[in-house]
Structure 1
Amino acid sequence: MTIFHAMLVVTEFLLLLSKLSYGADDIITQSDSLSDGSTLISKDETFELGFFNPGSSPNRYVGIWYKNVPVQTVVWVANRDNPIRDNSSTLIINKQGNLVLLNRNQSLLWSTNTTKKSSTPIVQLLNNGNLVIRDEKDSSADEDSFLWQSFDYPTDTLLPEMKNGWDKKTGILRIFTAWKNWDDPSSGDFTASMRLTNNPETAIWKGSTEFYRSGPLTGGTSSGAYEMKVNPLTNLELVNNEEQVYYMYTLKNKSVFSILVLNQTLLLLQRLIWIPDSRVWSNYLKLPHDACDAYNVCGPYGKCVIDASPICQCLDGFKPKSAQQWSTMNWADGCVRTGNWSCGIKSRDGFLKVTGVKLPDTANTWVDVNMTLDDCKLKCLQNCSCTAYSSFDPNKDSGGCSLWFNDLKDLRVIESSRNLYVRMDASNIGDKHEHTKTAILLVSIIVSAVIVMLLTLYISRKKRKNRENNNEDEHYDLDLPYFDLATIVKATNNFSEDNKLGEGGFGPVYKGKLQDGQEIAVKRLSWSSGQGSKEFRNEVILCSKLQHRNLVKILGYCVESGEKMLVYEYMSNKSLDSFIFDQIQSKLLDWPMRFNILYGIARGLLYLHQDSRLRIIHRDLKASNILLDRDMNPKISDFGLAKMCVGDQIEATTNQIVGTYGYMAPEYAIDGLFSVKSDVFSFGVLLLELISGKKNRTLTYYQDDHNLIGHAWKLWKEDNIQSLIDDNLKDTCILYEASRCIQIGLLCLQHHPDNRPNMTSVVVMLNSNNNTLPLPHEPGYLYTEIRSIGEASSKRQISSSINNVTMSQLDAR
C-alpha cells in the first residue's frame, strides 16, 4: 500500500506539473505559480496568457493574446512599464489575494491592486479575454463578484464585451493607452477614454492636446462617430445611469475576430478584422475618419464639410474672424457674428436650426433628461451665456435638453439625426429667409430662360460636338487654378527642347519656372496622342480632389487655342524608372531608400482605394508613373486612365482596355474586368522591378523563357528567391526583409483576384517583419498567357503598350 500511495502522489504531482508547463488550464490558485514558458488558456481556447517578447525587443512581458491567430496579437500587457530582463520571473497569488509578478530575487515587478478579500482567491482567464480574480467558490460570471479584472485596466485594445467608460461606484475611469511603437508596449502619449462631462463622449488625446472627439453618446448612438453607426459587424451598447457610463460592443458573428486598437505610430484608433484566408488583420474602420474628424479644425462657430472645398465654412450669420488667415486655409481662429447682438431683448433673440451635425464640444454643457425641446429653448433664453441648445436624446418623446455655454467648437456636418439650435439675432434669420425666397424666384426665372436658350442652341451645339478636341477652350468648374497659355509659354521658354523632361504616350513634359520663381512641370497633351478630352478632363477632376503625400500635386491646368496642359509640382528626381533601370543611377538606391519608395507607393494606393473621398482605381501604375521628389519620396502620377468607383462598387468591366502590358492584371488584359485588385497586381510587378532592378517586359530574356514574374515564381519554388535581389543592394540589403517583400509581391501577383491581398493588408505586411505571411499561389500573366492574349481578347479594343508607353485605340490581333 505504501508503494501504491507513493506512486499515486508522484502521478498527481506529474499531472500538476504537466498542467502548469503546457497551459492545460485557465486557472491559477494560491498553491500554483505560472513561470516563463507556461501559459493559461481560456476554456474555449480563444485567448492565452503568458510571457512574450514584443517584436525584436529582448524584454519579456506578461500579456494576453489570441491563441489561434498565427500573427501574435497581444491585447493586454500586465507589466508594460516595467519589463522583465530574463526568463526567471513567475506569477503567483500572494497572501493578500493579489496577482503579483516576481523576478528571480522575489522582487515585485507588477501587481494587481484589489483590496477585496477572499479566503480562496483564484485567477482565471475567461473566454472573452478578461483576466479576473474571483473567489473559488463563486463561479458566476457577474463582474460585480470579481475581486479584480483586467478589463478595468486596459492597455491599447478594446475587446468585445469590454467597457470603455467610467464606473461611478468604484471611481475607475478606463483609459486606453497606445504602445510607444511596434516593439515597445510601454505607455505612449496617445490615449483614449470617456470624457466626464454632463453630456458624456469619448475622446482621443495626443499628450495633453485633444485629437478627436466622438460627439455626445446619447440616444443609443453618437452624433459624430462612424464606429457608433449601425453596421453588419457589431452590436453597440451605450449606457449612462447613476452607477456607470460606458460604451461597449459585441460581435454579431462570434466566429469573427475584431478589435479596436489605439495605434500611436499611425495616430489612429483602428477597427481591425482578422482575415483567416489572407492571415492578416484588415482595417475595417479608422478614427479620425477624415480631415473633418480632427478636433476643432474649423475653430469656434465653424463647421467642417468634408465634400466642400475648402472644407471649413462659417455657420450662417457668422463670418471668418480673420479673413486673411481663412484665405490661407488656417481656420483655427474660427468665426464671429456678422452683426451686433445684445442679450436680454427677447424680441431680437432667435435660433438658427443647423441640421445633421456632430454636436459641439460638451465641456461647458448643462443637461436635463426630462425637459421638452420647447422648455429647453426657453431655458436657453433665460441665460445670456447660453449659445445653443439641442435635445439630449432624440429617440425619446420628451427628448431632454442640452444647453451649451461659451463658444461652439468642433462642429462638422455628418449623416446624423441631430439638430442644433444656435442663438443669434432674429433679424438675421429673417433676412436669410427673405434672401432665400428672392433667390428661388431669380433661379426660376433664370432656369426658364436657359431652357429657351438650350432649345435654340441645340442644333449648333450638336454640330460643334465633334470639334471639341481641336479648337475649344474649356474652363472646367473646379476649385483649381487656371493658367493662361501665355504664362505657360513664358515659363517653359516657349516649350524649349532644353526644358523637355521626357515624353509619354500622352505627349511631352516640360520643366518651367513661374514669375514668382516656383518650378513646375507641364504635361502637354500631344495632338497625335490617344488621350483625348475625356481622359484629360478625368485627370484634371481627379487630381483636384486627391490630396496625399504620396500622390503628385496638381497646381492647375490650361485649355486654350487647342492646347490641353496640366501643371504639376516639379519633381527634381524625375521618375522611378530612370533610377532602377539605369546601371549608374540604380547604385544610388540603397535598400532603405527602395523600401521607403515601396512603402510610400503602397500608402498612396491605399489612399486611392480606401481613404480618399473617392474610390479610385489607377489602372496604369508603373515605374514611369512614380515620380520622386528632392528627398526621394515617391508620388503616384498620371491619372488620365484612372477610374472612379461609385459607392461600394469594387469592380467593373470595360470593352476598351487601357494600360501598359507587363503591369496589367490578367483578368483585365484578357476579360476587361478591373478592380482595386488590378492595381494590387500592378503594385506586385512594380515591387519585383524595384527589388530586382529589371523590367517585367513581355519579351523574354531569361533562359527559362519567362518574364520577370515567371522567373521570380521559379526561384520561389526552388527556395532561391534571394537570387532575384539586385546586385547593387548586396552591401545595404537585409536579406530577410527583401525576401519577405518579394513574398508580398508574389501574393499581390496571384492569378485569381480574390487571392490577392488588398492594399490595407499590404501596408500591414510591409509594416511588420514579425507576422507570418501566407504562402502565395501561382502568379497570373505568365509568358504563355501573354502569347494568347490576342486570341482571348479578339472582340475587345486594347489600349496598351509593351515598352512602358501608354497608348490607346490599338486593335487587338
Structure 2
Amino acid sequence: MESLPFFIFFSTLFIQSLHFLSFSADIITPDLPVKDGQTLISVSQSFELGFFSPGTSKYRYVGIWYKKSPETVVWVANRNNPLTDHFGVLTIDNRGNLVLLDQIKNIIWSSKSSSIIAGPVAQLLDSGNLVVRDNGSSRNTESYRWQSFDQPSDTLLPGMKLGWNLKTGQERYLYTWRSISDPSPGDFTYRLDIHGLPQLFIVVGSVKKVRSGPWNGIFFGGTPKVHNSVFEPILVRNEDEIYYTYRLLNNSVCSRLTLNQSGAVERLVMYGQNSGWTTIYSVPVDTCENYGQCGANGICRTRTSPICECLKGFKSIPEEELDIQNFYGSRKCETRLTLDCQSGEGFLKLPGVKLPDLLEFRLNESMNLKECEAECFKNCSCSAFATTNLSGGGDGSGCLMWFGNLIDIREQSGSTIGQDIHIRVPASELEMARSSKRKKMLKTALVASMSALLGIFVSGLVLCISWRKIKRKVGMDRRKEGMEAPLFDLDTIATATNNFAPDSIIGAGGFGSVYKGKLLTGQEIAVKKLSMNSGQGVEEFRNEVVLIAKLQHRNLVGLLGSCIHREERMLIYEYMPNKSLDYFIFGLIPLTHCLFCHISSLSICNVLHVLN
C-alpha cells in the first residue's frame, strides 16, 4: 500500500507528459528542443522538420521536407555549416532565436531574430513555413518574428514570396544546391527584377542567362502556356514590397517551383497521395530562351533556319565590323532609320513575341494604345512600344516605350505565351508590308471565292442527283399505282422459286424462262422471268401487265401479279397442273377445228372488249 501514492504520482506525470508531447508535435520551445532522430510534423501532416544527410553526404543538416515525399527537401537551415555528427540539437532560446547546437553546445546556425520575445515558440505550419512567434500572440503573419519563407532555398512553395521588401531592402530569391549531396548555394539564382515592370531572371553571378517577359497583369510574358487548374500566379506591387507568389487552386494537389542544379526552373505537381512528382513545364525550353541569343535588334525563331534574323527595319552588320565587346549573341542588326524623323515612318506590329528587355525604356501606365503610339511617334529615338497590362482585355492598357537597341526578343511557340510589340520602321518597309498584306488579302479572297464556287457546284450537283432520284422514284410509284395487278417483291419470288434454281424451270424461250414456285401461303405459281436482252422497257412492260390483267378467262392462266427490280421483269401466274390453253395450242394434243374457232373467237372478243 505504501507504493500506491508513488504509482499514482508517476502515472499522472506520465499522462501529462504524453499530453504535452502530443500537443507539442509541431512546435519547439526552450524546454522542448528537437534532437537528431526526432522530427516536427505539421498539424495536417503535410510537412516534416528534422535532421537529414542529402545524397551520399555524411554531414547532417536541418531541413523541411514533404511528409509523403521525404526525399523532397524544400528548405535547409544550416546549408553553409553542416554538422559532422548525429548529436545536433535544434532549440529556441529565451530571446526567440532558433539555434542549432552541436555536441559541445557550439552554435552552428541561428535565425538571428532582431527582437526579444516573451514565451517564444517555433512552429511548423501546414504551408511548410517554420515560424517564430510569441506563444501568447495571435497566429497571424504579423505576429511572426522570424520565418523560413524569408530565407528560401531552391524551392518556392505556395505563399512564399520571390521579390523585395522595399522597407528593409531584403531580397528573397532561389538558389541552386551545389550538388545533390551539398545544399550550399550553387552558381544559379532565380530572382525578380523590379526595374520598371517586374521580370524573372535566371542569373549566374551577375550574368543574365534566361529572362521572362515583363508582367502584363495576368502572367509573365514568354512563360510556358499551361492549361492551369493547379495554381494561380500572383504579383503584388505596393509601397512596402514587390513580389511574385502563387496559390493552389486544388488543395488535393501539391505543387512546387524548383531551381535545379543545371539552372532550369521546373514546375512540379503531385496529384495523388501515392503518386510521384510530375514536371508540367521547365525553363529554358529551347535555344531561343538563352538571353540575347540573336543579339541586338534580332529575333529568335525556333521554326526557321537559321533561328536568328534582323527585325523589320533593321539590317545585319557585316561580321568584320562587329564590336565583340558590345553586342549580345552571335550577330547584331542596325537600324535603317536616320536619327531625324522622316516622312512616312510608322510602326509594324510584331505579334506573339516575348517583349525585349527593359534597358532603355519609359513607362506610363495611364495611357492607352493609341496614346502610346502617338507618344512614341513624336520621339524619333523611340524604337518600339507595347501595352503593359492585358488584364482588362482588348488591346490592353498602359504604355511601354523602348529607346535604343532591342535585346532578347523571341517569337513565342505554341507552348508559350507572347504579346504584341510595334516596331518603328522606315516608309519603304511600311510600303513593302502593305503590298504583302494586299497580296495576302487577294490570295485569301481568291481562295475564298474558289471555295465558294466549288461549294455551289457541289451543292448543285448533289441537288441535281437528288432531284433525279426523287423524280425517278415518283415515276416508278406512279407507274406502280397504274398497274391493276399487284406487285411482288423480288425476295418473295426468289424464296418461292428456291432462288430461281435450275430444277425449278418448267419452260424456256426467247422471252426468257418460266419457273415453278410456291408462295409462303402455299399457293403454287409460275414465274415468267423475262430475258434482260429482250429490250423491253418499264413502260412497255407496264402496258403488257395491264393488258394481260384485263384479258382474264377461265380457260386462260390467271395473272397474279408482276415484279420489277432494277432491270429484272417478271410475271407471276397461277400454276395450272392440267396445262393451259397454250399447251393445247402449241402442245402435242391436236385441237378440233370447232374448238380452235371457239377459242379464237373468244380471245378476239376479249381483246375488242379491252380496246373499247
TM score, norm. by length of structure 2? 0.65
Identity of aligned residues (%): 39
The aligned amino acid for 1:408 is L
Greater strand percent: which structure?
A: 2
Secondary structure of the corresponding residue to residue 288 of structure 2: helix
- Taking a change above 3 Å as real, the CA distance of residues 40 and 447 of structure 1, as seen in their structure-2 partners, is closer
Aligned partner of 1:409 in structure 2 is: 407
Which 5+ residue runs of structure 2 have no aligned equivalent?
451-612
Structure 1 counterpart of 2:279: 283
Query: After the TM superposition, which residues 514-593 of structure 1 pair with which residues of structure 2 at under 5 Å, given as runs?
Result: none
Report the secondary structure of 1:377's partner residue.
helix
In structure 2, do the counterparts of structure 1 residues 25 and 278 end up closer, same or farther at CA, with 3 Å as the change threshold?
Answer: closer
Contact 2:345 2:430 in 1 (8 A): no
Partner of 1:424: 425
2:186 to 169, 185, 188: 188
Contact 2:411–2:418 (Cα < 8 Å) also in 1: no
Q: Deviations over 1:32-54 (max 9, x none)?
A: 21111111100000100000010
In structure 2, C-alpha distance between the alignment counterparts of 1:5 and 1:53, rounded to whole Å: 43
Question: Which amino acid is 2:353 matched to?
Answer: V
Tell me, what secondary structure is at the counterpart of 2:265? Answer: strand
Which of the residues 280, 283, 302 maps onto 1:306?
302
> 1:419/1:60 Cα in 2 relative to 1: closer, same or farther (>3 Å)?
same
Instruction: Say if 2:324 is the partner of 1:364.
Output: no
Alignment partner of 1:41 is 2:41: yes
Task: Give the 3-state SS of the residue equivalent to 2:270 in structure 1.
Answer: strand
Distance apart, 1:160 and its partner CA: 1.8
CA distance in 2, matches of 1:145, 1:368: 37
- Shifted more, 302-311 versus 211-220: the winner is 302-311
Please list the CA deviations of residues 537-589 of structure 1 after superposition, one character each: whole Å capped at 9, or x if unmatched. Answer: xxxxxxxxxxxxxxxxxxxxxxxxxxxxxxxxxxxxxxxxxxxxxxxxxxxxx
Q: In structure 2, how many angstroms separate the alpha carbons of the residues matched to 1:80 and 1:360?
A: 36
Question: What displacement does 1:97 show?
Answer: 1.2
Q: Is the 8 A contact 1:394 1:418 kept in 2?
A: no
- The structure having more radius of gyration, on CA atoms, is 2
* Equivalent residue, structure 2, for 1:77: 76
Give the Cα separation in 1 of the matches to 2:273 and 2:131: 33
Aligned partner of 2:230 among 208, 229, 233 = 233
Give the Cα–Cα distance (whole angstroms) in 2 for the partners of residues 239 and 277 of structure 1. 32
Change over 3 Å in CA distance of 1:278–1:124 after alignment to 2: closer
- Alpha-carbon distance, 1:379 to partner: 3.2
Distance in 1 separating the partners of 2:388 and 2:448: 43
After TM superposition, the structure 1 = structure 2 runs for residues 18-33 of structure 1, keeping only pairs within 5 Å, are: 25-33=25-33
How do residues 72-151 of structure 1 correspond to structure 2 at under 5 angstroms? 72-140=71-139, 142-151=140-149
Tell me the distance in 1 between the aligned counterparts of 2:339 and 2:5: 99
Does residue 15 (structure 1) correspond to residue 31 (structure 2)? The answer is no
Instruction: Supply the distance in 1 between the matched residues of 2:400 and 2:275 (Cα, whole angstroms).
Output: 46
Name the structure 2 match of 1:548: none
Letter in 1 for 2:113: T
- Asked whether the 8 Å contact 2:99–2:107 carries over to 1, the reply is yes
In structure 2, distance between residues paired with 1:113 and 1:220: 37
Q: Post-superposition shift, 1:62?
A: 0.2
Partner of 2:277, secondary structure, is strand
Partners of 1:322 and 1:107 in 2: how far apart? 64
Q: Is the 8 A contact 2:68 2:273 kept in 1?
A: no
Q: Which residue of 1 aligns with 2:386?
A: 390
Separation in structure 2 between the aligned mates of residue 123 and residue 428 of structure 1, nearest angstrom: 65
- One-letter code of the match for 1:405? F
Please tell me whether the aligned partners of residues 155 and 174 of structure 2 are also in contact (alpha carbons under 8 angstroms): yes
In the TM superposition, residue 381 of structure 1 has moved relative to its aligned partner by 4.0
The SS at the match of 1:347 is: coil
1:167 aligns with 2:165: yes
| Secondary structure in 2 matching 1:423 | strand
Deviations 1:368-394 (A, max 9, x none): 221222332343345454322211112
Question: Are residues 435 and 68 of structure 1, via their aligned partners in 2, closer, same or farther at CA, if it must alter by over 3 Å?
Answer: closer
Residues 301-336 of structure 1 deviation map (CA, whole Å, 9 limit, x = unaligned): 11122222222222112222246899xxx9824442
- The 8 Å contact of residues 372 and 400 in structure 1, kept in 2 or not, is answered as yes
- 1:152 is matched with which residue? 150
Give the conservation status (yes or no) of the 8 Å contact 2:160–2:245: yes
Superposed displacement of residue 240, structure 1: 2.2
- Give the unaligned 5+ runs of structure 1: 450-813
**Structure 2 CA distance, aligned partners of 1:297 and 1:417?**
17
Contact 2:312 2:425 in 1 (8 A): no
Find the aligned partners of 1:402 and 1:243 in 2 and give their Cα distance.
24
The CA distance in 2 between the partners of 1:442 and 1:230, in whole Å, is 35
- 1:217 partner SS: coil
Q: Classify 1:98/1:441 alpha carbon distance in 2 versus 1 (closer, same or farther; 3 Å).
A: same
2:214 maps to 216
Q: CA offsets, 1:727-774, max 9 Å, x none?
A: xxxxxxxxxxxxxxxxxxxxxxxxxxxxxxxxxxxxxxxxxxxxxxxx
**Counterpart position of 2:531:** none
Partner of 2:58: 58
Q: CA contact under 8 A between 1:300 and 1:333: conserved in structure 2?
A: no
3-state SS, counterpart of residue 380 of structure 1? helix
Give the counterpart letter for 2:39 in structure 1: T
User: How far 1:58 moved relative to its partner?
Assistant: 0.1
1:244 aligns with 2:241: yes
- CA-CA distance at 1:339 after TM superposition: 2.5
| Offset from partner CA, 1:108-139 (integer Å, 9 cap, x none) | 21111331442122111000101111221223
Contact conserved, 1:260 with 1:272, CA < 8 A, in 2? yes
Count of matched residue positions in the alignment of Structure 1 and Structure 2: 438
C-alpha separation between the residues in 2 aligned to 1:197 and 1:28? 40
For 1:76, what is the secondary structure of its paired residue?
Answer: strand
Distance 1:448-1:312 versus aligned 2 partners, 3 A rule: farther
Contact 1:49 1:62 in 2 (8 A): yes
Distance 1:331 1:442, change over 3 A: farther
The root-mean-square deviation of aligned C-alpha atoms, in Å, is 3.2
CA contact (8 A) 1:321 1:333 kept: no
Distance in 1, Cα, partners of 2:318 & 2:15: 80
Deviations 1:234-267 (A, max 9, x none): 2222222323222222222222222111111x33
1 CA distance for matches of 2:328 and 2:194?
Answer: 28
Partner of 2:522: none
Shift of 1:16: 7.4
* Shift in alpha-carbon separation, 1:17–1:61, aligned structure 2, 3 A: farther
Listed as ranges, the matches of 1:350-499 within 5 Å are 350-381=346-377, 383-396=379-392, 399-414=397-412, 416=417, 418-437=419-438
